Structure 1
Amino acid sequence: MNSKLRKTASALAIAAAALTLTAGAAGAREQQQAAPTGAEAAFPQQASDLEADPRVIYGRLDNGLRYAVMRNQTPKGVAALRMRIDTGSWNETEEQRGIAHFLEHMAFNGSRNVPEGEMVKRLERHGLAFGADTNASTGFDQTVYKLNLPTVSDEVIEEAFFLMRETASNLLLDAEAIERERGVIASEKSARDSVGFRSAVDNLAFFTHGSGRVDRLPIGVDETIASMPREEFVRFYRDYYRPENTFIVFVGDVDPAVAIAKIESHFGDWRPAPPAGSARPLVPATIEPGRIGYYQDPEVLTYVTLASLYPYEQGPDTLARRRANFLRDLGNSIVSRRLSRMVDEGEAPFLAGSLASYSQRDIVDGVAVRVRSEEGKWQESLAAADVEIRRALEFGFTQAELDEQLARRRRSLETAVERADTRKTYASRGYNHAKALVDAFDSERVFTSPQANLAAFETFAEGLTPADVEAAFRRAWRAYDKPAIYLSTALELDDVEAQVSQALAQARTLPVSAPAEREIGDFAFTDFGGPGTVVEDRHVKDADAHLVKFANNVRLNFKQTDFDAGTIYVQVRVGDGFFSMPQGADEGLRRLAVNLLGRSGVGPHTSEDLRTIFAGRRLGARPMLRVGEDAIEILGATDAADLADQMNLMAAYALAPSYRQTIADRYRDQIRAWYPTHDSTPISIANKEIPRLVRSGDERYGYGDLESFMTPTLEEARQWLDPQLREGLIEVTVVGDVEKQAVVDQVARTFGALPERADRPGDYPGARDLAFPDRPAEPVVLRHSGVADQALARVYWPGPDGFDPVTVYRLEALRSILRNRLTDVLREELGSTYSPGVGVEASDEAEGYGYIFAHVTTAPDAAFDVIAETEKVGARLAAEGVEADEFKRAIQPLIEDLASSLQHNAYWMNVLGDAQTDGVGLARFRAREQAYREMTADDVSALAERIFRSERAYPVAILPVDAGGEAAD
């Protein structure tokens, strides 16, 4: 259960990210047809010249409830149900601050037909996992309840609609349940609080000045969270949870008529008592030209924002409005590319910079440039950003810059058309229809088809000239003569307004000149020699995959799928990765190596050159060198038309990696800027210190002081990486919508043509030797310098390694059971945390090493009590074993996910990624279904008894610097 801030994409998106909190009789329906315009329209398309996606059926019941239903068969056999209530924190009174989010929590705490504590359990028994499939979010203007249905049996669909209706109109709002939840809400509020959150709130307050937006943050305030009486909950629920405020979205592998019938049967008789609560009108921001804002904290990164702000222009979503936004975004994107190139080429005083729109409906509109810098370079960075805005305003853009942006947008839209029928119903990452439909309705946008979006783009692009974009850019930046300026920094500055004004005045004395024309040649790597010869080709029947080996020892693992139409996923694993790191090296060298690989480009081409060379083509390569991974990975996605270029680019990373000193220098600048903030939250300290602690001090894990990042050199990185990239074993995995022979030919022409590679992984004595530490006499205490009322309690227990697939799957079930038990004890009984977390590490690299850990956010004075209670939960689980019902609730979501997971390319990439080397993925694939279906409560109980032994636990408390407790040695 989360709460989120609704905001359009902008240069200030960090603020939105930081403020996100995630947690009868049939009525007549009116299908989409002629309807009123403007504010009276039931759906945005009724007041627009844009045509809604014809795959979606819209309707409204006679009680005012609206819905959108869409048949989607990717993946097959699943569905998504969303219920959006048109209210959030903005409608709260002064005495109700935080009640919308609090009420969202109460949806899981008892209704007329579902006892308190049973809703989540009922869903788990039907195969829905809490968090992943069952959740809700509250923002300023909406509350959304989410159910992802792993099957579309009538029983599951009926249960989902039944529980949504219970939430909509039948909550009990029991006074004792409200009292029990107060501690949970307070704990969540404390856990979400951070320097970053406070900075984001201050940022929002500055740019929405005068609107009162920050006075109604969804999380609320301590006073009302602790004191709101039941009557206020009843009043808010009665006033705003009403059919005319409700929008139902159902997407999935179900006949739309069935879904509509369910909506009618479950919501058609909903008749709340009058009168309805009134919607609080939005207040436009007070725009003061030249206004200056300043936020200071020792733990924040330094950034400067210059914005051109003006009143929001109301109006429906139309073709003309989209064209205006399109032109505005083009200019911003061109200047963003200029800033990015300056960073890449070492010509910028700032570390990163970009332009974007800053728009909040009915509150404020505008554009902004945001640059991040080292503390002492904020004036230079402000000046550099100002110069680039003025350069664009005075001299405009080149045809080449415009062509590059158009090519990128066209290719993206063409890809969306190609994938239109295979976009996901719901997904944790990337596009999904359920979220897209809710978001469109929330922002009063017409949900248009990919085909319509491409057609609109072609209309916008036809005959478009740089002069057109320049005119739109100048209109967007029309208030830039006196920009609003916001500075966030760790520096304590005197007379900030004078200093910022002086910095801008000084910047404006700098001359600007027309942008230079850039000449970038063709890609240099297209001929790798004679194509390699296939020496082995075998079909793996159960995975329907092909394993191919070339004469130079390069492996290819291939599976053809149609899950993402036209999409081909490619992974190249090279060498021995993390375990080949030189003896004595640590995280400092690894991070430098990652930055050099990922940002230096290949051969003569910088990374910015590559973006230009391949603009308009669907390809890319992302090198990765992750902690604990046994290979350097290069990841990419493409289609059949661009497969050859994709393979050219990936092979170039193995053949001719660039190591640019400008990248190494800029990386160190970024580290110097970041390091003073690294201890600003408990979780950041956990990430720094605990990986070493639970591996008995192995310094390859976690990280040390600033000097450990500054010491490694480019040459040391080169000496490590070059032999790996040029000689190490190569395993290529390709999964997607492409014929096998096309892939074999392209791999033969590129990787298969390289000189002979290693035929087995390298031998690095001791590199995989890990040891879990002995239990300390007292909990280890670590310190963070962030918010003073935040703490983190963790308990680690040593567990089995990941070499046995069956054990790995039993650990997954045990993780869910431990989480549920911790929730019952810590959240429901003690009210000490919002959502306890449980993690598992079952290494398939280090024999005999693994662990399971509990993660609990809490108050500093409760941290040691929480550790003690957490250990007791583990001990009871070991002693008493697993109950039948909790085992069913843990295993059922895992079983129900089996079929849909097989319809995801990402799953098959994991299965096949090491098929011809370690073979771990294939082994786990072959064992998974049987392991889950035959697993028993006794199996998991035996594993719990083996793991949760108090004498082996390793407890850690992360406390603020000024709190009590003994520090670790």
Structure 2
Amino acid sequence: MPNTLFRHIIAPAAAVFLVGAPAALLVAQEPDAPAFAHEASDLEPDSRVIYGTLSNGLRYAVMKNETPSDVAAVRMQINTGSVNETEAQLGLAHFLEHMAFNGSVNVPEGEMIKRLERYGLSFGADTNASTGFDQTTYKLNLPSVEDEVLDEAFFLMRETAENLLLDAGAIERERGVIASEKLARDSLQFRAFVDRLGFLTRGSGLIDRLPIGTDETIATMPRAEFVSYYRGYYRPENTFIAVIGDLEPEDAIARIEEYFGDWQPAGAALPQRPRNQASIVPGTVYAYHDEGLMTSVSIAALRPYTKRPDTAATRRDNAIISLGTRILNQRMSRAVQNGTAAYLAGLSSRSSVDDVVDGMLLNVRTTPDDWRAALSEAEQELRRAVQFGFSQEELDEQIANYRRSLGTAVERANTRKTYAGFEYNYAQALVSAFADERVFTSPQSSLDRFNAIAEGLTVEEINAAFRDAWRGYENPAVYFVSGEPLEDAETVLAQALKQSQQVAVVAPEARDVGSFAYTDFGPAGEVVSDIFVEDADAHLIKFGNNVRLNFKQTDFDTGTINIRVRVGGGFMSMPRKDEGLRRLGLNVLSRSGVVGHTANDLRTLFAGQRVGALTRTMIDNDAFEILGTTGADDLSDQLNLMAAKVAAPAFREVIAERHFRNMEAWYPTHDSSPGAVANKYLPRLIRSGDTRYGYDGIDSFLSATLDEVREWVEPEFKTGLIEITVVGDVDKEAVVREIARTFGALPMRADQKADFGANADLAFPSGSETPNRFYHRGNEEQALVYVYWPAPDASDPANAYRMRVLRGVFRNRLTDVLREEMGATYSPGAGAFSNSIFDGYGYALARVTAKPEDVGKVQGGILRVATELAETGIDSDAFDRALTPLIEDLNSIFENNGYWLNVLGDAQTGSDGLATFRAHEKTYREATVEEINVLAKEVFKQEDSVTAFILPAIEIAELDQR
């Protein structure tokens, strides 16, 4: 239920608008239509997936996947969304999704989430749903495949499918929650997104059917409309169930048949409503402005949408267009990195809204003063590509990169996750393939197919396909976004485009990036110690130059090696205490490449390889970090690059200048949302004014210098402590050999962490009953309430895990009070912070979105919950519902390379990670309700609390008028 709003239509801001699912989910299943896309395609489906159809028409797909072990994902997708709503029902599909958690024939209102929590599913993370234009998907991530957990999951899915009560009182109580969700999502950026979607799909009426609905219908839809829609669309023939995880397919299929085989629809089916095609008028120009938005301009070549089945021929055509688009994007990225572009970023992509409109889109972000030059350069770069095409060298680079990504997928095929938040996972991929009427093919078949495409593929064919994709570019649609209104915008924009089109373009010059310069770092270092840590199954190795290597071999992700290099003192060694210097350092280090090679040069040099390095300076980190992911075949080149990042860091003036331009373009919009204002002021507030946190005016960003970055970073990189962690599917001997050859060959390094002195001092502010007030210039109906309390530091590693239990209890209770009882918010949040660097410092917090007029009421509700926890405590059921999901997640957490990178990151120079690892499971399994109640009494002291209200700036004007 959380995080549902428009999930199916949000896309990267730069250019892409892949909206919803295609017509397959909008047209009723015809009697002779294939049940699954592969039945009407020449593409072979992945043999690991078993498909089937029950006698009542319900379709399913089942896939065995053992990563992580002993977990599973269940997805139930209903073939309906906001497009099917009548004018009186706008928002009903999404509202109905909420009602799935508000009472059914066999589950009382308010009990479904609690039941799932008792089985180890966390609300939001494991128990969720989403609504789009034409589909509604219910999601359960099961932390166990025990019979009782599987039976509960299937039972609750069946309850949702057929047995919702849709009680009038429950509907009434949920209206405020839906309104709060709508308010929480209604940012200036989202409004701009919807406007651009409306521009691209004008005439279709699509944006009149946004899943969230309207204020009027949310507030007034009667129960009868819910019942009608539910019975008309929640039907077995409209339902698809996917089960993925560490269980036998036969078991999953048997449960689908047991729980859904006797489901018979009640009443007549309601019709599926088709989408309308967009009205495409070449040369249309439109401008949108809001003072909280950055400037951007888009060029679009649009055409009517033509449905193409998912076949080998379709995929070949898409791959060829993609290769040309990648080359254009690489050219634009190079211009930005080289400092020759007026735009700050540029991206081209397919702009396709299924059944509505198709075409190509080129978007550039720019400063307010440079939009004309940015538009001209984008138009001319596109025209250069259309007229002169691409080179064989450019095509070879992109073919190599494309093949590499497919090859990596083949290696990882058997260890990709069943479900995950921010990486490829089979639950999402399988359900999306069904929704998009695509064949779910195996990684190996995708690689084989691409190799067949690439063999004999000519640059002339790429050029021809690119030109065809951009047909109509001579008279494109233009969409402009700015913070200030542009007078006579349509005329001015059209004239600027015409002037650019009159400028002749010439073919691009050939490039020669040479060869990588850093392959020999001197005599290989010698290992002076090698300690095996049994409980972590890891080796702690030290070289003669004091470089440390922490190594753990895993098979969690086949063919993948994760590497983290920690160098020097990072944020904690920063001499100038402000965010301006940190951000400049971050951008320069991450975007400058190395001496002799720009970042784009490196991209070309390592084309087709899993080689890359991200350098970062994170807040509250006591080291600079260089991160990389590679495979065994590329390990040598990966470590060459990472060692070069330390031995020869580049500090390019052009990157600094670009950073300053980005800051100047961004800063006028920095207070355009409540969350952005919170990021500016609150980190400093809760650290008693420490100027390293939060930020000041634009001058604080522009006054930092490249010389200051050099003076900070160079000594740290030259002699600072180096600790390297390698986790993954690789032999220890190979890793030791490559580290010895690269980092082990560097000059002598520091042998211990520096003493950060006063930089390691933080203080929580004194408590106050008076809220701190800050102001944003975003949606005038939005406000945020934050309440903080001092909490235990990280001196005892078990504290962090006890705080997670308390956080779960607190969040659940906040949801009960603020969401269900008061109807004051959509999704209250709770969190906690501690870091072993800072003795005596830690905090807990609550974060709630509210209407401006309700901030006092919300603050009161938060403090009431906190006081109740401190004075009355919690019962065993509330404790178990917060603790059980944490325990059930342990196996998944421990089978994750990223987790072990953190555990081993300081294993030889601090051992905080190992200490927290050793406390992790033990703390959870030994936790008691009594100790959490003691912790609540310690933390939630109202007199120590600090409150912040983030209010709309209109409040200031109203106060002045008073």
Q: Is the 8 A contact 2:6 2:210 kept in 1?
A: no
Q: Classify the secondary structure of the residue corresponding to 1:942.
A: helix
Residue identity in the other structure for 1:4: F
What's 1:724 paired with?
A: 716
Q: Classify the secondary structure of the residue corresponding to 1:335.
A: helix
Equivalences for residues 485-634 of structure 1 within 5 A = 485-582=478-575, 584-634=576-626
1:79-128 per-residue CA deviation (whole Å, 9 max, x = no partner) reads 00000001111111000000011011100000000000100000000011
Q: Is the 8 A contact 1:826 1:833 kept in 2?
A: yes
What is the Cα deviation at residue 324 of structure 1?
A: 0.8
1:471-522 per-residue CA deviation (whole Å, 9 max, x = no partner) reads 0001001111110110011121121111011001110121100111101111
Q: Classify the secondary structure of the residue corresponding to 2:612.
A: coil
Q: Is the 8 A contact 1:9 1:357 kept in 2?
A: no
What's 2:8 paired with?
A: 6
What's 1:94 paired with?
A: 87
What is the Cα deviation at residue 910 of structure 1?
A: 1.0
Which moves more between the two structures, 159-168 or 771-780?
771-780
What's 1:460 paired with?
A: 453
What's 1:129 paired with?
A: 122
Out of 314, 317, 331, the residue aligned to residue 321 of structure 1 is 314
What is the Cα deviation at residue 13 of structure 1?
A: 4.9
What is the Cα deviation at residue 776 of structure 1?
A: 2.7
Give the TM-score, by structure 1 length. Answer: 0.97
What's 1:832 paired with?
A: 824
What's 2:66 paired with?
A: 73
Q: Could you tell me the percent identity over the aligned residues? A: 57
What's 1:334 paired with?
A: 327
What is the Cα deviation at residue 4 of structure 1?
A: 2.7
Tell me, in whole angstroms, the C-alpha distance in 2 between the residues paired with 1:482 and 1:962. 42
Q: Is the 8 A contact 2:72 2:141 kept in 1?
A: yes
Q: Residues 13, 260 of structure 1: CA spacing in aligned structure 2 closer, same or farther, 3 A cutoff?
A: farther
Residue identity in the other structure for 1:661: E
Residue identity in the other structure for 2:283: G
What's 2:24 paired with?
A: none
Residue identity in the other structure for 2:162: S
What is the Cα deviation at residue 12 of structure 1?
A: 5.3
Which moves more between the two structures, 849-858 or 771-780?
771-780
Q: Is the 8 A contact 1:7 1:359 kept in 2?
A: no
Q: Classify the secondary structure of the residue corresponding to 2:293.
A: coil
Which moves more between the two structures, 774-783 or 366-375?
774-783
Q: Classify the secondary structure of the residue corresponding to 2:397.
A: helix
Q: Classify the secondary structure of the residue corresponding to 1:249.
A: strand
Q: Is the 8 A contact 1:134 1:148 kept in 2?
A: yes
Q: Is the 8 A contact 1:10 1:357 kept in 2?
A: no
Tell me, in whole angstroms, the C-alpha distance in 2 between the residues paired with 1:759 and 1:966. 58
Tell me, in whole angstroms, the C-alpha distance in 2 between the residues paired with 1:714 and 1:397. 36
Residue identity in the other structure for 1:81: V
Give the TM-score, by structure 2 length. Answer: 0.97
Q: Classify the secondary structure of the residue corresponding to 1:391.
A: helix
What is the Cα deviation at residue 274 of structure 1?
A: 3.0
Is 2:394 the partner of 1:401?
A: yes
What's 1:55 paired with?
A: 48
What's 1:29 paired with?
A: none
Q: Is the 8 A contact 1:806 1:928 kept in 2?
A: yes
Aligned-residue Cα RMSD (Å) equals 1.5
What's 2:25 paired with?
A: none
Tell me, in whole angstroms, the C-alpha distance in 1 between the residues paired with 2:758 and 2:737. 39
Q: Is the 8 A contact 2:15 2:348 kept in 1?
A: no
Residue identity in the other structure for 2:622: D
Q: Residues 369, 93 of structure 1: CA spacing in aligned structure 2 closer, same or farther, 3 A cutoff?
A: same
Tell me, in whole angstroms, the C-alpha distance in 2 between the residues paired with 1:683 and 1:824. 24
Out of 656, 667, 678, the residue aligned to residue 648 of structure 2 is 656
1:673-706 per-residue CA deviation (whole Å, 9 max, x = no partner) reads 0001110111111111000000000000011110
Q: Classify the secondary structure of the residue corresponding to 1:675.
A: helix
What is the Cα deviation at residue 533 of structure 1?
A: 0.7
Is 2:207 the partner of 1:205?
A: no
Q: Is the 8 A contact 2:18 2:351 kept in 1?
A: no
Tell me, in whole angstroms, the C-alpha distance in 2 between the residues paired with 1:940 and 1:795. 20
What is the Cα deviation at residue 38 of structure 1?
A: 11
Out of 874, 880, 887, the residue aligned to residue 888 of structure 1 is 880
What is the Cα deviation at residue 9 of structure 1?
A: 6.7
Out of 943, 946, 951, the residue aligned to residue 935 of structure 2 is 943
Tell me, in whole angstroms, the C-alpha distance in 2 between the residues paired with 1:176 and 1:217. 25
**Unaligned segments of structure 1, at least 5 residues:** 21-35
What's 1:682 paired with?
A: 674
Tell me, in whole angstroms, the C-alpha distance in 2 between the residues paired with 1:506 and 1:11. 27
**Unaligned segments of structure 2, at least 5 residues:** 22-28
What is the Cα deviation at residue 942 of structure 1?
A: 0.3
Tell me, in whole angstroms, the C-alpha distance in 1 between the residues paired with 2:212 and 2:264. 30
Out of 244, 259, 277, the residue aligned to residue 251 of structure 1 is 244
Q: Is the 8 A contact 2:643 2:743 kept in 1?
A: yes
Is 2:777 the partner of 1:785?
A: yes
Q: Is the 8 A contact 2:547 2:744 kept in 1?
A: yes
What is the Cα deviation at residue 225 of structure 1?
A: 0.2
What's 2:945 paired with?
A: 953
Which moves more between the two structures, 801-810 or 204-213?
801-810
Residue identity in the other structure for 2:761: D
Tell me, in whole angstroms, the C-alpha distance in 2 between the residues paired with 1:150 and 1:777. 42
1:767-787 per-residue CA deviation (whole Å, 9 max, x = no partner) reads 011100012341111101101
Equivalences for residues 732-771 of structure 1 within 5 A = 732-771=724-763
Equivalences for residues 899-918 of structure 1 within 5 A = 899-918=891-910
Residue identity in the other structure for 2:933: S
Q: Classify the secondary structure of the residue corresponding to 1:457.
A: helix
What's 2:342 paired with?
A: 349
Q: Is the 8 A contact 2:569 2:623 kept in 1?
A: yes
What is the Cα deviation at residue 315 of structure 1?
A: 2.3
Out of 416, 422, 425, the residue aligned to residue 432 of structure 1 is 425
Tell me, in whole angstroms, the C-alpha distance in 2 between the residues paired with 1:41 and 1:673. 52
Equivalences for residues 479-490 of structure 1 within 5 A = 479-490=472-483
Q: Is the 8 A contact 2:16 2:349 kept in 1?
A: no
Tell me, in whole angstroms, the C-alpha distance in 1 between the residues paired with 2:38 and 2:13. 28
Tell me, in whole angstroms, the C-alpha distance in 2 between the residues paired with 1:904 and 1:408. 26
Equivalences for residues 759-908 of structure 1 within 5 A = 759-908=751-900
Q: Is the 8 A contact 1:5 1:140 kept in 2?
A: no
Residue identity in the other structure for 1:553: N
1:907-929 per-residue CA deviation (whole Å, 9 max, x = no partner) reads 11111111111111111111111
Out of 201, 225, 231, the residue aligned to residue 218 of structure 2 is 225
Q: Residues 181, 246 of structure 1: CA spacing in aligned structure 2 closer, same or farther, 3 A cutoff?
A: same
Out of 642, 655, 659, the residue aligned to residue 667 of structure 1 is 659
Q: Residues 563, 929 of structure 1: CA spacing in aligned structure 2 closer, same or farther, 3 A cutoff?
A: same
Is 2:298 the partner of 1:298?
A: no
1:113-155 per-residue CA deviation (whole Å, 9 max, x = no partner) reads 0000100000000011111110000011111100000010000
What's 1:28 paired with?
A: none
Residue identity in the other structure for 1:194: S
Tell me, in whole angstroms, the C-alpha distance in 2 between the residues paired with 1:446 and 1:79. 22
Tell me, in whole angstroms, the C-alpha distance in 2 between the residues paired with 1:398 and 1:778. 65
Q: Classify the secondary structure of the residue corresponding to 2:661.
A: helix
What is the Cα deviation at residue 6 of structure 1?
A: 3.1
Q: Is the 8 A contact 1:783 1:959 kept in 2?
A: yes
Q: Classify the secondary structure of the residue corresponding to 1:422.
A: coil
1:281-309 per-residue CA deviation (whole Å, 9 max, x = no partner) reads 11111110101111110110111110111
Tell me, in whole angstroms, the C-alpha distance in 2 between the residues paired with 1:817 and 1:6. 31
Tell me, in whole angstroms, the C-alpha distance in 2 between the residues paired with 1:443 and 1:379. 38
What's 2:108 paired with?
A: 115
Q: Residues 612, 38 of structure 1: CA spacing in aligned structure 2 closer, same or farther, 3 A cutoff?
A: farther
What is the Cα deviation at residue 963 of structure 1?
A: 2.1
- The count of residues paired between Structure 1 and Structure 2 equals 950
Tell me, in whole angstroms, the C-alpha distance in 1 between the residues paired with 2:688 and 2:405. 48
Tell me, in whole angstroms, the C-alpha distance in 2 between the residues paired with 1:693 and 1:814. 24
Q: Classify the secondary structure of the residue corresponding to 2:954.
A: coil
Q: Classify the secondary structure of the residue corresponding to 1:674.
A: helix
What is the Cα deviation at residue 15 of structure 1?
A: 6.3
Residue identity in the other structure for 2:314: R
Moved over 6 A (4+): 8-11, 14-17, 36-39, 964-967
Which moves more between the two structures, 38-47 or 955-964?
38-47
Q: Classify the secondary structure of the residue corresponding to 2:889.
A: helix
What's 1:928 paired with?
A: 920
Tell me, in whole angstroms, the C-alpha distance in 1 between the residues paired with 2:740 and 2:785. 52
